[in-house]
Amino acid sequence: VWFADQKLLSELILSRELVGRVASRLGLADEGRLLREQIQIKPVSETRGQVTLLAISVSAENGEESQKQTRALVEEFITYVEELSAREFAGTRQFLEDLVAEARTNLDATETAILKWQEEHEALSVEQALTAIADRENQLEAQKNELQQQVAGLRSELAQLEDFSSGRSSTPPWAVLGQERSGLANLQQDVSQQRLKLAELHEVFTEESQQIREQTRRLGIVEGVYNRELSATVRSFIEEKQASLGKALAALKTVDGGLAEVRKKRDVGDQRLQLARLQRQLAMYEDNYNSLMTQLYKARVAEQGSRRSGAISILEAPGQGKPALLVERPSSARRLLIGFPFCLIFAFTIVLLLDYLSSSMRIQPRVEEALNLPILGSIPRLPDDLAEEWEELKKAAVREMVAVGAGSRSGNGNGNGNGNGNGRSHSKNRIN
């Protein structure tokens, strides 16, 4: 197990995060700082450096509190180890869950787009849509042909009516239209009879005869009535045909618009590609979703397995424990008895140290005692180069005084006293 090392176990149990969890669970105010000091860890059994059995205890004011804190520590430690063991697998599982959610969203969006296409085209596939469009186109083409024939007939009839009305044609409108009106037919028959009677009178009478003039007058009256009625009838026919032609043209325009829309739908190259693309996306997203779900199940199994691999078995539940031995404070007499030898040793050491240090301070009294003269002052320490020059000067002065003393000793008995005086002064300078 990855956490079986004794040092790692101690770090895990005494870690700030674990102790903080226990403190939060127990409601401790110091965030577990005191609790960390009261935790005792004792390996009971080890195999090849790996701890197989561990004893954990917590010191507290009483047994119940110790049992409570120990139980909380052990339970939180088990949970913490399981979380650490499964943390890597949990990250993988969470990542796969995010991918599954994204794949589910893409799958739903593609299915919605396919349903929208099917609703717009009222078909489940492109083939069904093309079949419905072809049937509709055939119906509209038949209607268009029929309307075109109707428009052509109406235009022809209207042209003939206008020619007859303007006098460019002598064909009666009822013959052109295939219709017959009794009033006009009777008037035409009266005109024909009056003309026939006038022709018969021309065979018998002359132009200046009363009979011819009377018949001509009658014929004019009948023809005037006939022409007025004929003009009114022709105008009504023209208006009727113009209205019919307008309706036919409007219907033809509507049919042409329907055909254009149908032909636009019939050209479903892009629609076919769009639906095929949506269907391919749907298949791809379904495969991706199924694959991710399989990986997610495997990740969840691996996560549970990692939790089991990091599981810890509790062999013995925490008990109330035993009172810890209190440290007795020694009495005053015992403390004095123990401290007296140490005080003697310390005092003896101080005396030796002071005696050693005071030896250098006795130089001046010793000099005074040896010379039997008081020391009024001392020459301060000079730099090395000046000290060397001073030594050279003193040596030169000594040599001169030695020479002078030798001359005085040979010529005068007082030279000894002067020489001793000079010698004493020189000794004093050297000592200082």
Q: Is 247 contained in some domain?
A: yes
What confidence score (pLDDT) does residue 351 get? 82
Q: What is the end-to-end Cα distance of the chain in Å, rounded?
A: 80
Percent of the chain residues topping a pLDDT of 70: 69
What confidence score (pLDDT) does residue 122 get? 60
Is the same domain home to 134 and 30? no
Is the same domain home to 158 and 222? yes
H or E segment at 430? helix 415-431
For residue 381, name the pLDDT band (cuts at 50, 70, 90): low
Tell which residue, 70, 17, 79, 62, has the closest CA to residue 40: 70
Q: Which of 182-186, 221-225, 358-362 has the lowest mean pLDDT?
A: 358-362
Of the two residues 338 and 429, the one the predictor is more confident about is 338
| Residue 422, CA distances (Å) to 374, 380, 390, 395 in order | 17, 22, 17, 13
Is the same domain home to 152 and 243? yes
Mean pLDDT of the chain: 74
What confidence score (pLDDT) does residue 392 get? 82
Q: Is 370 contained in some domain?
A: yes
Q: Is 219 contained in some domain?
A: yes
Q: Is 199 contained in some domain?
A: yes
Q: For 26-35, how does the pLDDT look when each residue is reduced to its tens digit (9 = 90+)?
A: 888 777 788 8
- Does the pLDDT of residue 379 top 60, yes or no? no
Is the same domain home to 29 and 39? yes
Of the two residues 7 and 407, the one the predictor is more confident about is 7
Q: Is 166 contained in some domain?
A: yes
Longest dimension (CA), the chain: 230
Maximum mean pLDDT: which of 170-174, 230-234, 286-290: 286-290
Q: Which of 221-225, 371-375, 397-401 has the lowest mean pLDDT?
A: 371-375
CA distance 91 to 89: 5
What confidence score (pLDDT) does residue 353 get? 80
Q: Is 309 contained in some domain?
A: no
What confidence score (pLDDT) does residue 298 get? 86
Question: Which domain-ending residue is among 252, 280, 308?
Answer: 280
Task: Report how many domains make up the chain.
Answer: 4
Is the same domain home to 370 and 383? no
Q: Which residues of 7-42 are buried (b: 16+ CB within 10 A; e: fewer)?
A: eebeebbeeeebbbbbbeeeebeeebeebbeebeee
| Residues in the chain, total | 432
Is the same domain home to 100 and 199? no
Q: Is 398 contained in some domain?
A: yes
Is the same domain home to 98 and 136? no
Is the same domain home to 65 and 85? yes
Maximum mean pLDDT: which of 64-68, 176-180, 191-195: 64-68
Q: Which two tokens stand for residue 77?
A: 């430690």
CA distance 391 to 426: 11
Is the same domain home to 63 and 131? no
Tell me what the mean pLDDT of segment 153-157 comes to. 81
What confidence score (pLDDT) does residue 328 get? 53
What confidence score (pLDDT) does residue 415 get? 42
What confidence score (pLDDT) does residue 197 get? 79
| Residue 9, CA distances (Å) to 39, 76, 202 in order | 13, 14, 150
Of the two residues 258 and 133, the one the predictor is more confident about is 258
Is the same domain home to 265 and 205? yes
Is the same domain home to 346 and 386? no
Q: CB of 32 within 8 A of CB of 23?
A: yes
Of the two residues 189 and 174, the one the predictor is more confident about is 189
Of the two residues 374 and 423, the one the predictor is more confident about is 374
Q: Is 118 contained in some domain?
A: no
Question: Which domain-ending residue is among 44, 77, 109?
Answer: 109
Is the same domain home to 160 and 221? yes
Q: CB of 318 within 8 A of CB of 71?
A: yes
- Does the pLDDT of residue 430 top 50, yes or no? no
Tell which residue, 166, 158, 28, 9, has the closest CA to residue 74: 9
Tell me what the mean pLDDT of segment 213-234 comes to. 78
- Does the pLDDT of residue 368 top 80, yes or no? no
3-state secondary structure of 239: helix
Tell me what the mean pLDDT of segment 146-152 comes to. 84
Q: Which of 61-75, 151-165, 394-408 has the lowest mean pLDDT?
A: 394-408
**Domain around 373:** 334-377
Q: Which of 123-127, 192-196, 213-217, 419-423 has the lowest mean pLDDT?
A: 419-423
What confidence score (pLDDT) does residue 412 get? 47
Q: CB of 87 within 8 A of CB of 37?
A: no
Q: For 72-93, how does the pLDDT look when each residue is reduced to its tens digit (9 = 90+)?
A: 888 888 888 777 777 767 778 8
Q: For 382-391, how does the pLDDT look when each residue is reduced to its tens digit (9 = 90+)?
A: 667 777 777 8
Question: Which domain-ending residue is among 280, 314, 344?
Answer: 280
Q: Which two tokens stand for residue 53?
A: 């059995």
For residue 330, name the pLDDT band (cuts at 50, 70, 90): low
